[in-house]
Amino acid sequence: MIRDNYIQSAKLIASAKRILISGHLSPDGDSLGSMIAMAKLLTNAGKEAFATADHNALGKPGFLDGAEKLIHTRKLRRQKKFDLFIAVDCSGFDRMPPEVMPVAEGLPTICIDHHVTNAGTFGDVQLVDPGASSAGEIVWRFAKWMEWRLDREIAEALWVAIVTDTGRFAYDMTRPGTMRAAADILKHDVRTSLINDIIYGTFSRKAVELKRLAWRSLHVWKNRKVAEVSLDRDDFRAVRGTKADAEDIIEIPRSVVRNEIALFFYQIPDRTKETRCSIRTRGEWDATVLAAKFGGGGHRRAAGCTIRGTMGSAKRKMRAAVKELLKSACRKTMKIPPIVIPDMTSSSAEPPKAEKEQ
């Protein structure tokens, strides 16, 4: 099945001349890295390939070589027509910048994704593997199958994609295949120390200010099992920050000792009727169960959703969902198997036999 999808993808690419690539809104390291890598791989293969994103929402991964070649989403309508669309790290137009759908809808489409909540229905061909650590790992696999050669620009983009989505190879989805991909990528002079400093070792003033505001909002409940922080529109406006400046704020509630469910509520200034929520879990809890209640998705340990309404309303709805999840698990563990007591009044009933002495 995977080989057939590779073959179909190769045929679509072979018949295309101009190719558009998009990831999800506010692209993270995996989405942006995969887009940049795929665009360069296709360009090297003789195609006119262009990735698109909002230049103001790139965040730290925006340092990558190739980011300067991204078509700003506002300029998509001015471009010549494309004849193939590739979606990476997302499963539908509803998760992409709104400018993408009018340009890409109706085009032959390849979907490259690793989210367990991807139903596999978006696009003509699906390169979807929920067992992969990242979209970047799938792009690497496809590139190897196509016998495309990597260079440093491609390798660094794929390195950022894999490193950020595996938490520097610490998360559950880090598998032997992930490490094989990483080892191959490292053959191309990847500047690992520099990348680590940029992504994990340094923070902009805006990011630091947003963290300070988020720490003030920290709320811990259920005996520290659940922790949450929030940033509203006024918080973002106060520091002139964007979602890209708040990428790792979910780590604040997640860092609380004994935390099992971490929540980060935030409102992007240009959205007036939505509150978004990032979810991280540990132990037996599945983040996608909570996200799915509000039309979101992701992974077992990391998911997200958008909730219509004010910040207060969104918090009440999500807290109710968390409480229901905790109660349902409690009910399961508290079930006691029924004890069958023999009817000693019946003539056919026999008293229990005494244990044989040893």
What is the set of domains in the chain, with CATH numbers? 2-200 (3.90.1640.10), 205-334 (3.10.310.30)
Backbone φ and ψ of 228, nearest 5°: -145, 155
pLDDT score recorded for residue 339: 45
Amino acid in position 260: E
Instruction: Give the H/E segment covering residue 19.
Output: strand 18-22
User: In angstroms, how far apart are the furthest CA atoms of the chain?
Assistant: 92
Amino acid in position 58: L
Predicted confidence (pLDDT) per residue in 308-358, tens digit: 999 999 999 999 999 999 998 765 544 445 444 444 444 444 444 443 333
Helix (H, G, I), strand (E, B) or coil at 182: helix
CB atoms within 10 A of CB 150: 22
CA distance 347 to 17: 88
CA distance 139 to 159: 11
pLDDT score recorded for residue 80: 94
Alpha-carbon separation of residue 272 from 3, 95, 206, 233, 311 (angstroms): 45, 17, 22, 9, 11
Alpha-carbon separation of residue 195 from 63, 69, 170, 328 (angstroms): 9, 20, 17, 43
Instruction: Give the H/E segment covering residue 51.
Output: strand 48-53
Give every residue of the chain whose pLDDT is below 70, as ranges: 1, 271-272, 330-358
Enumerate the β-bridge partners of residue 113. Answer: 128
pLDDT score recorded for residue 271: 61
Q: What is the pTM of this model?
A: 0.85
Look-up: residue for tokens 């992504």?
A: 199
CA distance 229 to 256: 12
pLDDT score recorded for residue 269: 81
